[in-house]
Amino acid sequence: MSGPAVAVIDCGTNSTRLLVARDAGDGRLQALDRRALITRLGAGVDASGLLDPLAVDRTIEVLGEYRRILDAHGVERVRVSATSAARDAANRDVLFSRVEDTLGAAPELLSGAEEARLSFLGATAELDDETGPFLVVDIGGGSTEFAVGRGRDGPEGVISVDVGCVRLTEQYLHRDPPAPEELSAAISVAEAYLDDVVRELPSTRDAALMVGLAGTVTTVAAVELGLASYDRDRIHHFRLSRAAAEDVFRTLATETRADRVHNPGLEEARADVIVGGCCALVAVLRFFEVDELLVSEADILDGMARSLLSG
């Protein structure tokens, strides 16, 4: 018999996401509700080192909506995380106190390593270990996490680097559309961080399958598929070729934001940072010389839910 519902919430740099789930038995996780809203919590953090009060307000407003969803499902156990933007912000306590007031649960400040571990746990749970080892790549707003391993026993190694769709956009992509030299700079910076990844985790070069997570990857997949509306079943475990990712990148990077928003599969709220995310994605695909990656909609939220249910 299925157990009671639990909820996990991730206050990320670009989006605030919710998963309500329960243990369905046989190691399966049953999702009862899954939401993601772009709140841009990390807007300006890279430059100022502070969370913007308006960004905090946007996040708390969404968490208020999520609180009502938790109540509707009778959720009693909640795990809330904060990641890159909160790690970088000197005033994160302002956010944390308001989150606890809204949800009745104190948020955890996840390290990049723990973020990578949980993402790996969520992304590989449905995969056959025999198809590994896996390299899980989670491209976020402020950071990108890499985790490598077989799956069953968790990752053998993890690393987090300061590359993300919001961070690259704010630092390098200032024109509309971005100038070629801006795009080159963003990709070059991402590639420099990848040198660090391989130096710290040489086994990332030996992975049999790359698994891509989070909004940039799923959006590029949705654009490649031409989805007029979000369809998780078509995106989850879609195999995105490097050629297709490069094609989507060229299209989005050469359009103004006003034109970019008309691409089926691209959420309007993501239109101003998707090119920065694409810079990170194509840098990863080029650097590791992979022909394709497996797109996963199971990610850090699923990993957090599994850890909560097993705790």
48, pLDDT greater than 60: yes
Give the separation between CA 243 and CA 172, rounded to whole angstroms.
Answer: 24
Parallel, antiparallel or unpaired: strands 15-25 and 6-11: antiparallel
The predicted model gives 22-44 an average pLDDT of 88
Strands of the sheet with 292-295, listed across from one edge: 157-161, 144-149, 134-139, 209-213, 292-295, 239-241
Q: Which of 50, 79, 110 is the C-terminal boundary of a domain?
A: 110
Q: Which domain range does residue 37 map to?
A: 6-110
Same domain? For 141 and 90 the reply is no
**Residue 178: how many CA atoms within 13 Å on its side-chain side?**
30
Rounded average pLDDT over 88-96? 92
DSSP, res 178: P
The tokens of 31 are what?
Answer: 């999702």
Same domain? For 285 and 188 the reply is yes
Q: What would the mean pLDDT of 48-66 be, rounded to a whole number? A: 95
In this structure, are 214 and 139 located in the same domain?
Answer: yes
In angstroms, the CA 239 to CA 236 distance is 9
Q: Looking at residue 246, what is its pLDDT?
A: 97
In a shared domain, residues 160 and 227: yes
Same domain membership, residue 151 and residue 195: yes
Check whether residue 266 and residue 178 sit in a common domain. yes
Q: What is the phi/psi pair of residue 8, to 5°?
A: -130, 140
- pLDDT over threshold 70, residue 311: no
- The reply to whether 72 and 168 lie within a common domain is no
Whether the predicted pLDDT of 301 surpasses 80? yes
| Residue 195 maps to a domain | yes
- With 0-12 / 13-18 / 19 or more C-beta atoms within 10 angstroms meaning exposed / middle / buried, residue 257 is middle
CATH number at residue 280: 3.30.420.150
* Tally of domains within the chain: 2
Task: Select from 300, 305, 293 the least CA-distant residue to 119.
Answer: 300
Residue 179 per-residue DSSP state: P
Residue 52 in domain: yes
- Does 305 fall in a domain? no
Other CB atoms within 10 Å distance of the CB of residue 311 = 8
The average confidence (pLDDT) of the chain is 93
Residue 120: pLDDT over 50: yes
pLDDT value at residue 25: 78
Average pLDDT over residues 156-160: 94
pLDDT of residue 142: 87
In a domain, 309, yes or no: no
Q: Read off the amino acid at residue 2.
A: S
CATH for 75: 3.30.420.40
- Quick one: 220 and 171 in the same domain? yes
Q: Which of 49-58, 266-275, 302-311 has the lowest mean pLDDT?
A: 302-311
The confidence score (pLDDT) of residue 2 equals 62
Q: Is residue 160 part of a domain?
A: yes
Q: What mean pLDDT comes out for the span 81-100?
A: 91
Confidence of residue 151 (pLDDT cuts 50, 70, 90): confident
> For residue 206, what is the enclosing H or E element?
none
Judge whether 169 lies within some domain: yes
pLDDT digits (tens, 9 = 90+) for 228-262: 899 999 999 999 999 999 999 999 999 999 999 99
Asked if residue 116 is part of any domain, the answer here is no
Q: Which helix (H) or strand (E) holds 49?
A: none
Is there a domain that residue 310 lies in?
Answer: no
> 286 and 190 in one domain?
yes
Q: Is the pLDDT of residue 220 over 90?
A: yes
Q: Are residues 134 and 104 in the same domain?
A: no
Per-residue pLDDT for 158 more than 50? Answer: yes
Phi, psi of 54 (to 5 degrees): -70, -35
- Give the C-alpha separation, 242 to 240, whole Å: 7
Q: Are 300 and 119 in contact (CB under 8 A)?
A: yes
How many beta carbons lie within 10 A of that of residue 71, not counting itself? 9
Instruction: Specify whether 105 is located in the same domain as 139.
Output: no
pLDDT given for residue 1 in this prediction = 43
Domain co-membership, 146 together with 289? yes
- For residue 218, report the phi and psi dihedrals to the nearest 5 degrees: -70, -30
